[in-house]
Structure 1
């Protein structure tokens, strides 16, 4: 067996052209040289400065970017961000203290005392909610490290895709949740629009309700647009992960679709994260936002670099 030096597809001995891309095959007729060694030799000639992690050019390309310094730093920063959020998740008393401060500033200390029996359950609920929000990030963190370790494993010419599968499952769950949330909000806005119109029509005040109806319609369109962009982003993540898994399973390059959109949104998300952290007024929140911003930029650079390398094959 031999590997195509252009796309990485495995072909049978004696075939003159790659069945996938049509590239002319060069077979080593020496009985002492295996097909894998031939492919490795050719690939080293083509990229002498690049460390060979797999004799298959397609998998080697994925391993090279998956084990890069950018990916390592991204995984470390994401780990720190999750750790900070995990620590701050137990600080549910911040909201409670804020409520007490507002009541005290408005001379409602007696009301604050009467609310004390309810504040502890509220605090516990806030902590539980914060921890629940962290669960997807924890699984994605595990998936990132599994993928990075699989790419750095020089003893295995292939890549263990368990990390990618874990990320894929979590993103699918998140995508389903986002679709359900978006549908609920849209239905509520549409119902509010219909109710407002019917109520105004019943009282003969449609001309006064037109402004409210227009605002509700704008809100419907705005929410639909925002959720569409979010759904496309998660779809881009799934597409990128799927292309990486396909490269491993088929041993030939799979071009990641929507990778350009993923890169763009990551850069935009980094800016939004920095702004959100800066206006939060909380040092821990700002540091976590900073880590998240740098993480998004590094992932964007890794995906962008891999996409460019794939198109260069």
Structure 2
């Protein structure tokens, strides 16, 4: 199988490429524009005849067509996305250009070239917020509350429309909050690690009691690989970690591990449109395809903390835009 991974130098994409190269004989082509979230250093140590990197934009349909034909691509997995909610609030346009129009460009060329399978990597944020005691299922209505999540919801609907209209082999996965190695330091967990090590104040939105379901990126990659092999066309699969934890508890956990004072915590004005709770039901993926998460949060966060402690230079490179 020859697969095209878009956004493969990002956090989840780079971890997925490593997983595929380690656990299969698939050939992988990685297309990435290397924006702020696409760190070239994420895959510099990958040396395999099964791997090819191409610099480029998913909105460039001529390039997509060339790649598909040159490398005999069978499957496209679209990880490429602008993903930081704060950035989407400040500048929404780029998010719709990449997340929505970029997906349309990929769909057009995938359809034109009769791709066997197209997997859209999405997020539970498309569902909006949910009350305590309830969980998002694949049939939950889409109620995005930020420009980022609305751009992802729009892309999901595009994939669905291609399946319904053209009998296109599209599949959508929606994951909960990921954490693990190679995550950009603007995200909560690596941001807290970085600032705590420097004894800098840790800004916490509102009361910090926003609840997220934390999914280790390794479990996420295994889930996507399972969907790649066994998922059914036209379906949506939720991927959750079964680790619902309030943001403030995640922060305190990290501070305890690093032996840092809670005095570093600084409560700030809540973010606009901030969702209160995400909680995802992954039973469909478990019952139909046999996947379930393996990492407990305690084990996963300790692994993540150790990785960042041992890779301080990676964080510095990201901050200095040397990637």
| Smaller-chain TM-score bracket | under 0.3
Structure of greater Rg: 1
TM-score between the two structures when normalised by the length of structure 2? 0.21
Higher strand share: 2
Higher helix share: 1
